[in-house]
Amino acid sequence: MQITTVSDFRKDIKTYLDRVVKNFETLIINRGKDSGIVVMSLQEYNSLMATNHELSSRKNELRLDSAIEKLKSGMTMNKDLIED
């Protein structure tokens, strides 16, 4: 995570945005006491929204927890893809 001021961001906006996209970094632009802006790549944002959706219901959360436990304990199986 990077932190900068509005002034510094304005001076070198392209470099900051390139770093956010290239390195999947989150940039915080400090605007004063308890105020700021978060900049992240679209890919990172979409990932967060997908995770939020996956965990939006207790039922989904339990399914994911169960799948993670099965993966950790080695209770998985491999299947070949059907090719057309």
Query: What pLDDT score was predicted for residue 42?
Result: 94
CATH number of the domain that residue 32 is part of:
3.40.1620.10
- The answer, yes or no, to whether residue 19 has pLDDT greater than 80, is yes
Q: Which amino acid is at 6?
A: V
For residue 18, being part of any structural domain is answered with yes
The number of domains in the chain is 1
Cβ contact 67:73 at 8 Å: no
Burial class (CB in 10 A: 0-12, 13-18, 19+), 2: middle
For residue 61, being part of any structural domain is answered with yes
For residue 80, being part of any structural domain is answered with no
For residue 84, being part of any structural domain is answered with no
- The answer, yes or no, to whether residue 84 has pLDDT greater than 90, is no
- Nearest residue to 39 via CA among 2, 68, 70: 2
Which residues are bridge partners to 39 per DSSP? 27
Q: pLDDT of 36-83, one tens digit each?
A: 999 999 999 999 999 888 888 899 889 888 988 998 998 888 888 888
For residue 13, being part of any structural domain is answered with yes
Query: What pLDDT score was predicted for residue 18?
Result: 95
